[in-house]
Amino acid sequence: MQFLIRDDDACALTRPEEIERCYGRIWDEIPIGLSVTPFRVPDKTGHGMPETLSRLDEPHPLGDNSEMVSFLREQIAAGRIFVALHGYHHARVEGQPEYVGGKDLARKTREGRSYLQDLLNCPVDTFVPPNNAVSEAGFAAVVGAGLNLVNNQTYPLSFFKAAGPGARLNRALDLQYRLQVRLGLRSAYKKRRYRGFQQIAYRTLGPSQDLSNLEKALHLCARTDSPFILATHYHAFEKKLTSGESIGDGLLRLIELAKAQKSAEFIRYDELW
C-alpha cells in the first residue's frame, strides 16, 4: 500500500527545530510532505510566533526566515521533505477560509507557486487548501495553475465550468466516480483523474479523531489498494486524540501498521500523481 504524510502550516513563522522534533527520527526512511504557505498572515493571537516576526495582520514571506529556508532546501535536496502549496497567506477573509472568501486567487496561486519553486529550488505540483475548503473561484484558480488537489470536497457542475475547457468531461468523470463509490465498486480514497488535474482524499490525524477509526481506514486502503493520505499538523503533535494517544504517538502507530501491510511504500506527491 502507499502511505503519504501531509503536514500542514509550515511558513515563515515555523522554526526548523519544530519540524525536526516531529520527524527527525523517521524522515530518513519516510519522506514528509509539508504544506507550505508562502506569505503567512498570523492570526490575532500571534500564538507560536518568533519574537523576530511579531507583526500581526501583515504578510510574512517565507524568504524572511532565512534559517527555515536553508533548512527546507537542505532537507528537500536530501529527499526527506517535499512540499505542496498551502494557500497564499492562509488568513481567513471575513470569517471564511482563504480559498473561499479570498479575492484575486488566480494571481495569488500562480505567484505563490512560483515563489516557492524559486525559493526552495523544487517543483510544486500539489495544492492543499487552507482549512480544507475551496469555492468555485478557488477551485478555478488551483486548476488553472496546473495544480493537483489533496481535498475531500465534492464539486457541483459550476466548479467544472469555472475551470474552463473540459468541463463536460470532468463532470462526467466526477459523476462516474461518485456512482462507483456509492455502489461499492470503488474506494473513496482512490485517486481521481480529471482533465487538467487530479485529486485525492485524505484522513485527518487530529484531536477530534479516534485512533481505532484511523486504523480501520488504513486497513481499508490496504484491502482496496488505495493510497492512505494522512493529514496532520506539526504544531499539534502533543495534543491528544479522543482515544487518549498523542498525535505524535498515533502517527508512529499508523506507520507501524502500514509497514506490516504487503508491499508498503512511503511516497511523495510526484510518485502519487
Q: DSSP letters of 25-83? A: TTTTTS-EEEEE-TEEPP-TT-TT--GGG--SSS-EEGGG-HHHHHHHHHHHHTTSEEE
| Structural domain range at position 15 | 2-272
Mean pLDDT score of the chain: 93
The contacts of residue 104 (CB under 8 Å, 6+ apart) are none
pLDDT computed for residue 48 by the predictor: 47
Residue where the block lists cell 502507499 = 2
* Residue 94: exposure state from Cβ atoms within 10 A (0-12, 13-18, ≥19): exposed
The mean per-residue pLDDT over the stretch 175-201 comes to: 94
The CATH code of the domain that includes 191 is 3.20.20.370
Which residues are paired to 192 by β-bridges?
199
Predicted confidence (pLDDT) per residue in 223-273, tens digit: 999 999 999 999 999 999 999 999 999 999 999 999 999 889 999 999 999
Least confident segment among 131-140, 148-157, 195-204, 223-232: 148-157
Q: Would you say 227 and 191 are in contact if contact means Cβ atoms under 8 Å apart?
A: yes
In total, how many domains does the chain have? Answer: 1
Of the candidates 189, 107, 205, 198, the residue with the CA atom closest to the CA atom of residue 152: 189
Q: What residue type is assigned to position 140 of the chain?
A: A
